[in-house]
Amino acid sequence: MKLNDLLTPALILDKARLARNTMAMTKHARGLGVDLRPHLKTAKSSEVAKLALSGNAGGITVATMREAEYFFDNGISDITYAACIVPAKLDRVAALNARGADVKLITDNADVAAAIAGHGGAFKVLIEIDCGEHRTGILPDGAALLEIAVILDAAPAVELAGVLTHAGHSYSCRGKEAIEAVAEEERAAVVEAAERLRAAGHPCATVSTGSTPCVMVARDLTGVTEVRPGVYMFGDMFHAGLGTRRVDEIAVSVLASVIAHREDDNQLYIDAGGLALSKDRATGAFDDDSGGEHGDCGYGLVCDAETCAPIPGLYVAAVHQEHGMVTVAEKEAPLPFSRLPVGAKVRVLPNHVCMTSAAYDEYNVIDGDEDSAEVITTWGRCNGW
């Protein structure tokens, strides 16, 4: 089937771009001497996981228990569930482990550590470290680290598997040097925590860092054993603004149809609105034009349907549930209404690919030359919890 024959809106995955992105990261991690444990919260697809795992150790990261169960059902057993566990979810984890999975949990809380220790199940647990994002996690030099370690290490059925951190504040950086500084902050924090644990006599086999921007710019990860980037597989307009993905490397887009013209307001409407694109406004952080070529692109950058090359200046400026309003950055320039009659198709590159992809059950996978792309198959996703 030709791309143009799909009904809209539809999620498109460019397999060639994806494969280039995953191979490059695999090579990069190998060069850094760390395991790549790809985060599948973005892709939520076992077929994407196969590409991401090619040439790697085989472990993955997930953000939901549904992802853990889905990937285990698709042949992956080494799974780090990288969102703070709560006691009520332990039975579900234990049930998956009983089927043969090897799920690693994370916590930053002594009461939860005690609940894990008291549950009776055999769990592997990483302690979450705050390396500067100030979200979840404990400070590498604080008292809580050893307090939690003692609780976990004392429980016969529990294995203290190591430490883990996520430098989400790398997304606030502008420019490669700023990201490099956060990457070093992330490395230093988690390595400090690991060394404190070992000095106190605790095991700490895994020292894990995350966040695509940090991993992409990292040059030295001494002391780190694994990295957990996820968005690198696909990329999005926020990463284009950060400079960590080129626009022509972005592997996921939304195919949409022009549904109305509004020439008096120099606007046209497409059938991809807030549900089809998400309401994520990440590139709004680039309204000072610090975002490079494309800066703030509203709810997505509008591209040619066949080649996925940006149509100069066009972006989705506003969304309703099923309507996206397209206009042009330079207000005086008229929209190319004759090139884009009602019924014509475009592709929209998303602001934040994790959010946009979650609206769809499946990817329409394209391959081949960009000016004659064929839809070769569909790949499912495991949304929800």
Name the site residues for a copy of itself (rule: CB under 8 A).
7-10, 41, 63-65, 83-89, 92, 108-109, 111-112, 115, 134-136, 168, 257-262, 265, 269, 271, 274-276, 278-281, 320-323, 325, 341-343, 354-355, 358-361, 383-385
Beta carbon of residue 119, minimum distance to a copy of itself (angstroms, whole number): 12
- Report cis status (omega within 30 of 0) of the bond before 9: yes
Give 99 or 279: the residue with its C-beta nearer to a copy of itself.
279
Residue type, 248: D
Beta carbon of residue 86, minimum distance to a copy of itself (angstroms, whole number): 5
Q: Which tokens in the block code for residue 74?
A: 């698709």
Beta carbon of residue 265, minimum distance to a copy of itself (angstroms, whole number): 6
Distance CA 279, CA 234 (A): 19
**26 Rama sector, left if φ>0, alpha if ψ -120 to 50, beta otherwise:** alpha
Give 221 or 239: the residue with its C-beta nearer to a copy of itself.
239
Q: Are strands 267-270 and 345-349 parallel, antiparallel or unpaired?
A: unpaired
Give 30 or 135: the residue with its C-beta nearer to a copy of itself.
135
Beta carbon of residue 384, minimum distance to a copy of itself (angstroms, whole number): 6
Q: Are strands 123-129 and 102-107 parallel, antiparallel or unpaired?
A: parallel
Distance CA 38, CA 61 (A): 6
Give 138 or 158: the residue with its C-beta nearer to a copy of itself.
138
What is the residue whose two structure tokens read 């549930």? 321
Give 131 or 325: the residue with its C-beta nearer to a copy of itself.
325
137-156 as b/e: b if 16+ CB within 10 A = bbbbeeeebbebbebbbebe
Distance CA 67, CA 92 (A): 12
Give 26 or 356: the residue with its C-beta nearer to a copy of itself.
356
**68 Rama sector, left if φ>0, alpha if ψ -120 to 50, beta otherwise:** alpha
Give 32 or 318: the residue with its C-beta nearer to a copy of itself.
318
Give 123 or 269: the residue with its C-beta nearer to a copy of itself.
269
Give 71 or 360: the residue with its C-beta nearer to a copy of itself.
360
Beta carbon of residue 325, minimum distance to a copy of itself (angstroms, whole number): 7
Beta carbon of residue 175, minimum distance to a copy of itself (angstroms, whole number): 23
* Residues 262/270, Cβ–Cβ less than 8 Å: no
